[in-house]
Chains A and B, each alone.
Chain A
Amino acid sequence: MRRIPPALLVPAVLGLLFLVLPLVGLLVRTPWTSVPRLLAAPDSLNALRLSLVTATLATVLSLVLGVPLAWLLARVRFPGRRLVRALVTIPLVLPPVVGGVALLLVFGRRGLVGSWWGLSLPFTTAGVVVAEAFVAMPFLVVAVEGALLAADLRYEEAAVTLGASRWTVFRRITLPMVGPGVVAGAVLCWARALGEFGATITFAGNFPGRTQTMPLAVYLALESDPDAAILLSLVLLLVSVAVLVGLRGRWIGEGGMA
C-alpha cells in the first residue's frame, strides 16, 4: 500500500471527526430513560407526523412542477434560458429565512398573489408545504436537469422517427431513462424539505399540529425542555441516516449530482 501523505491524512481525519462528532454527541447525551415519555408526548408525535406528511407533499409538488421545469431547461432552447437556470437555483443559496419573508410578501394576506386570490397560506399546513417546496425544489430540478443533460438524445430521436409526439417521447422514453436521476433528486428534495426550518417558521409560523414541524419543535423545545430537543434531533438524525442508506450506491456511490 502506498503511504498516504500526512498533509492530506490529518485534515481528512479532522474533517471526518468534525462531521461525525456532533452526531456522536447527540447519541451520548440522549436521555434514554425518558425516551418513552418524550416520544409519547402528543406534540412530538404531531411534529413528526406533520414533518413526514409535509415533506412528502412538498416532494410531490416539486416533482409535478420541477420535472417539467428541468425538462424545459435541458431540452428547449429559448431566449434567457441561462437566466432562468440561475433563477431556479436562487433558493439554494438564499438564506431560508429570506425565502420565508419573500414568500410572505407574495403569498401573505397582503402579498402580491395572496391579496388577489383571497386565499391565505401563512399559518396553514399548506403554507408549510409551500415553504418547504420553495427551498427544496431546486435540489430536484438541478438533479433531474443533470440527468437529462447526461441522457443520450439519440434515443429520443429514435422515438420521434417511430411517430412519437414530444409528450409521448417525454413520458415513454425520457422519463424512464432518467428515472434514477429523478429518484435521487426526489430523495434529496425530500430530505431538504424534512429539515426545513427558516422559511417554514417565517412563512408558516409555529403552531403544534398545524405548522410545527420537527425542526421547529427541536428549536423551541431547546428553550423549555432540552431533553426533548435532543431526542427529537435524534429522531430526525435516524430519518436522515435512513435516507442516506437508501441513496447509497445511487447518488453517493456514483458521485456527482449529474
Chain B
Amino acid sequence: MSLRARVVVERPRFRLDAALEVADGEVVALLGPNGAGKTTALRALAGLTQNRGSVVLDGEVLDRVPPERRRVGVVFQDYLLFPHLSVVDNVAFGPRCRGTGRAAARREAMEWLERTGLAEYADVKPRSLSGGQAQRVALARALAVHPRLLLLDEPLAALDAGTRLEIRARLRQHLAGFEAATVLVTHDALDAMVLADRIVVLERGAIVQEGTPAEITRRPRTDYVARLVGLNLYRGRAADGVVELAAGGRLSVDAPVTGEVFVAFPPSAVALYAQRPEGSPRNVWRGTVMGVERQGDRVRVELSGAPPVVADVTPAAVAELELLAGQPVWAAVKATETHAYPAQV
C-alpha cells in the first residue's frame, strides 16, 4: 500500500472521519454530494488542513511534515495557475522550489509541456488558455515535482459539457501513466466511473460505500449513490423471497436472501398501468404521479406511494395513460428485474 490514511477534521457542526488506502498506480475517486467533506479530506492529505488522524505515505508518517515538504502534487479546482507567471514558469515553479537551477527547471518544465502537447503555449500567460489546456498545465505543474501522491480536486468541474468528454478521456490516459497513488475528488458519478479504479463514496463526513465502479453501479447502498447511478433503491427485511420495505410496501425478489437487504432496479424496469394489471407481475402497487420529465427519448415519471418509485416510459405510454401530476396510476415490476443483496457487507 502506498497511501494509508485516516483523515479526521472537526468543524462546528461537521465532522469528517474517513480511512483511505490507495495502492501505487491506483486511482481512487472520492465521490459525494456537495458538503460531504471531499475537498476537506483532500486538503488534509496535502497538509493544508489540520488532520487529527494520520497520513502514511510509502511507510513515512507525514503528520508532522509541513505541506511544502510532503511531495504531494495537487491539481486544484479552477487549477489556480499563477496568473503572473508564464505557462512554462508555472510548471517550473515546483522544481525551482526544490532547488533546481533556473535553466534546468525550465528545461524540465518544457519536457512536461511537450508530453502534454502544450509546448507551443510555454510563453503565454495562463489567462489565454482554454479550460482544458489550463487543466493539463495544472496537471503538468503538479507532476513536475515527482509527487508520491497525486490529488485532484474536481478536475473536470470547470469545463463545459462540450469539451468535457474529450478531456476526461485524455486525463484518464495521463492518470494511467502515473505510477504513484492518485486520489481524485468529484461529485460527478460518470467522472468517477471513467477515471477511477475504485470509488469511495463520502456522505456527511463519513464513508458510506467503497468498491469498483461496477460494484457501485450494481449495488448502491445509499439513496445518493442510487440516484447517481440512476437506480430505484430500497432497504428492507427479506424472508422467503419477499422484502418488507422500510419505505412502505413489499417487493418480491428473485434472490435467495434473508435479513437486512437492499433491493435495486432501474426505472426502465417499471411498467405503468391505468388499471390494475391482471395476472403476470408479482409486484404491483398503487401510486400517484408527482412529476413528469422528458429525458432524451424516454419520459421519467416520479410516483409517490408505498414504495415511491421512478419509472422510465415511452412518450407514447405517457399519451395513452394521460399522465399528469396528481393522477393515480398502477406500477408493476417483475421480480426477475430486481436485484437484492445483503445490507451488511
Contact = CB atoms under 8 A, between A and B. Distances in A.
Interface of A: 152, 154-155, 157-165, 168, 172-173, 176-177, 179
B97 A168 contact: yes
A177 to B, nearest CB: 6
B48 A160 contact: yes
26 contacts: A152-B80, A154-B78, A154-B80, A155-B80, A155-B82, A158-B74, A158-B80, A159-B82, A159-B97, A160-B48, A161-B68, A161-B74, A161-B142, A162-B94, A162-B141, A162-B142, A163-B68, A163-B69, A163-B97, A164-B68, A164-B93, A165-B68, A168-B97, A177-B83, A177-B84, A179-B84
A191 B87 CA distance: 37
A152 B76 CA distance: 13
Interface of B: 46, 48, 67-74, 76, 78, 80, 82-84, 93-94, 97-98, 141-142, 145
A163 B94 CA distance: 6
Contact of B72 (A159, A161, A164, A173): A161
A161 B93 CA distance: 11
Most buried by B among A154, A159, A161, A163: A161
Nearest to A165: B68
Contacts of A172: 93
A163 B48 contact: no
Nearest to A179: B84
A162 B46 contact: no
Given A154-B76, A157-B48, A162 B145 contact: yes
Nearest to B98: A163
A179 B69 CA distance: 28
A9 to B, nearest CB: 41
A199 B84 CA distance: 40
Contacts of A173: 82
A152 B79 CA distance: 13
A201 to B, nearest CB: 42
Contacts of B84: 176-177, 179
Contacts of A155: 80, 82
Contacts of A168: 97
B68 A158 contact: no
The 4 closest A-B pairs by CB, nearest first: A163-B97, A162-B94, A158-B80, A161-B74
Contacts of A163: 68-69, 71, 94, 97-98, 145
Contacts of B93: 159, 162, 164, 172
Contacts of B48: 157, 160-161
Contacts of B74: 158, 161
Contacts of B68: 160-165
Nearest to B151: A161
Given A154-B76, A155-B80, A177-B83, A161 B97 contact: no
A162 B94 CA distance: 5
Contacts of A177: 82-84
B64 to A, nearest CB: 16
Contacts of A160: 48, 67-68
A168 B85 CA distance: 14
A177 B141 CA distance: 19
A176 B145 CA distance: 23
Q: Which of B46, B83, B93, B142 has the largest count of A CB atoms less than 10 A from its CB?
A: B93
B46 A164 contact: no
A161 B69 contact: no
A5 to B, nearest CB: 42
A168 B67 CA distance: 14
A76 B194 CA distance: 42
A161 B74 CA distance: 7
A166 to B, nearest CB: 8
A157 B46 CA distance: 10
Given A154-B78, A164-B93, 15 more contacts: A154-B76, A154-B80, A155-B82, A158-B74, A158-B76, A158-B80, A159-B82, A159-B93, A161-B48, A162-B145, A163-B68, A163-B97, A164-B97, A165-B97, A168-B97
